[in-house]
Copies of this chain bind each other. A is one copy, B any other.
Amino acid sequence: MGLDDRKLAVLRAIVEDYVATQEPVGSKALVERHQLGVSPATVRNDMAVLEDEGYIRQPHTSAGRVPTDRGYRLFVDRLSRVKPLSPAERRAIERFLVGAVDLDDVVHRTVRLLAQLTRQVAVVQYPSLARSKVRHLELVPISTTRLMVVMIADTGRVEQRLVELPGPLSADDVTDLRRLANEKLVGSRLSDTPPLVQALVDESSPHLRPAMATLSSVLLETLVERHEERIALAGTANLTRGGLLDFQGSLRPILEALEEEVVLLKLIGEAEPSTTRVLIGDENEIDNLRAASVVSTGYGPGSVIVGGLGVVGPTRMDYPGTIATVRAVARYVGELLAQN
């Protein structure tokens, strides 16, 4: 595995040129465009080694070289420094995010901003309910046997559900229910609520117990069990940049994958604190995305992570720039959330 400094420099040059031009890069062009200080022939020898090691490959015998997924991986891990954002980009981010009126607005603006800056498909997860704390529960009587439950989370998310009650309730009953539920649940994480919710039912006065049981089962079922995650998407038109060369001619699998919320959650919803995750081509577990790369990270107020965001694009991607942008956007969104 004798990858000396020059071979690494060659690999870096190949990645950079290929990302820029979208064309296989040959030895001659390489020495012309980069100060490698050696002749094309030498570069060719290095290329042969790099190809043996699986970092680059030739589309056809008489073409230049193209990085493999493994080559990109090496590039990302060891050969690229994170590009600082341009002042223009910083300004764009700040301008874009001020003036958001509610969480929906924040998420929509964020996903569009991310798509625009990276010129890729952007994905933003709404703050996860599992990671949110209950700020308030509101019960709104719709009729005597129907209740709308509105849960407001500290992340700004608001979820509502219609509850069909087992029997009619008076306005006072509803007030009691509301008070009880809020006393017990406010401030607790939703993922921790199951025991609390159970206690809630047990401690209710007998005539409220059936209603409380229904209410709590709805809460558990909809907010915890089928953990209600939401996703915003933007920039799918960016998939058509670079013609059909990326994604080997068909957008279909990519578009299909992007329609599955479950898939997207898997991609960007498993963020860990202060890590930017880069998945390159084959490393991806989702078959439909084997021709794509994903750059994602978590965001949240302060150092807490409440959700993930990221971009999906061709493996032929400007990794340093994309990583920098994704991080910066996540940081700004976090600050914005912290202000609430």
Contact = CB atoms under 8 A, between A and B. Distances in A.
Interface of A: 101-102, 135-136, 138, 140, 142, 148, 150, 152, 156, 158, 160-162, 222, 234-237, 239-240, 250-252, 255-256, 258-259, 340
A256 B255 CA distance: 14
Nearest to A140: B136
A55 B66 CA distance: 49
Nearest to A136: B140
A340 B252 CA distance: 38
Contacts of A160: 102, 152, 158
Contacts of A135: 142
A340 B138 CA distance: 20
A260 to B, nearest CB: 10
Nearest to A258: B236
A236 B255 contact: yes
24 contacts: A101-B161, A102-B160, A102-B162, A136-B140, A138-B138, A138-B150, A140-B152, A148-B158, A150-B152, A150-B158, A152-B160, A156-B162, A158-B160, A162-B340, A234-B259, A235-B259, A236-B236, A236-B258, A236-B259, A237-B251, A237-B256, A237-B259, A240-B250, A240-B251
Nearest to A139: B138
Contacts of A148: 136, 152, 158
- Summarize A's interface: helix, strand, loop or mixed: mixed
Q: Interface centre among A156, A237, A340, by most B CB within 10 Å?
A: A237
A240 B251 CA distance: 7
Nearest to A261: B108
Contacts of A222: 101
A49 to B, nearest CB: 40
Contacts of A142: 135-136
Contact of A158 (B101, B102, B156, B158): B158
Contact of A237 (B156, B234, B252): B252
Contacts of A258: 236
A162 B101 contact: yes
A252 B255 CA distance: 13
Given A237-B259, A240-B250, 5 more contacts: A138-B150, A162-B340, A239-B255, A240-B252, A240-B255
Contacts of A161: 101-102
A152 B138 CA distance: 12
Nearest to A254: B237
Contacts of A256: 237
